[in-house]
Amino acid sequence: MGGAVKLIVGLGNPGPAYADTRHNVGFDIVDRFAKRLGVHWNGEKFHGWFTTGDAGDQRVGLLKPMTYVNRSGRSVQAAVAFYKLEPSDLLVISDDLALPVGRLRMRAEGSSGGHNGLQDVIDRLGTDQWSRLRIGIGIPVGDPAHYVLSRFDGAEEEIMGRARPFAVEAVACWIENGVQLTMTRFNGDPPER
């Protein structure tokens, strides 16, 4: 086995009412990565759905906080403390209102960019020195709170059909190669089919 566990967290809201909404793209990517690893959600742990698997020789924990997006830090903090993780072992996946639909932006550190879930993780961990993968959901039309809970339209869904597997590849790259190479390879729009 590789070193310590790497923790991949997807942000989203629990419950069927929120499934497939823009705000739940983090859940979607972590679900897809779980399928890639051939693992199932074992049940609740760390105030969320949690499972583990192996990506090559690296042990990976996957977490979907069930605290609602704005309180995601509670769940992340519990998992980080349990595994005694360094910030460099954490990747949080979220939606981003400032990016065009489907565009990826990986960062090694930084502010929340106005995302309440990322801000809660920063506040709970007391640091912003951890990786985050943001997936563009488009600039809001009307009320941002309503917009993030809406679903992608047909044209947007076509782009997301390429962006989701691209994001899963970015997660795999981060685990194997680290944040810097992942930023170089994956920051931008998903490739055309």
- Helix (H), strand (E) at residue 82: helix 72-83
The one catalytic residue among 23, 40, 47, 115: 23
Q: What is the pLDDT of residues 164-185, one digit of tens each?
A: 999 999 999 999 999 999 999 9
The confidence band for 4, taking pLDDT boundaries of 50, 70 and 90, is confident
Record the pTM: 0.96
Q: What is the pLDDT of residues 37-53, one digit of tens each?
A: 999 998 899 999 999 99
Protein fold of 6-186: Rossmann fold (3.40.50)
Q: Which residues does 43 contact at the CB level (< 8 Å), separation at least 6?
A: 49, 50
Note if 146 is an active site residue.
no
The confidence band for 9, taking pLDDT boundaries of 50, 70 and 90, is very high
Q: What is the pLDDT of residues 67-89, one digit of tens each?
A: 999 999 999 999 999 999 999 99
Strand partners of residue 68: none
Q: What is the pLDDT of residues 117-133, one digit of tens each?
A: 999 999 999 999 999 99
> How far apart (Å, rounded) are the C-alpha atoms in residues 149 and 62?
23
Q: What is the average pLDDT score of the chain?
A: 95
pLDDT at position 2 is 43
φ/ψ (deg, to 5) at 5: -60, 140
Nearest to 171 by CA among 95, 117, 104: 104
Q: 119 is written with which tokens?
A: 């801000």
Q: Which residues does 65 contact at the CB level (< 8 Å), separation at least 6?
A: 9, 11, 12, 46, 47, 48, 71, 72, 74, 75, 76
Q: Where do the domains of the chain lie?
A: 6-186
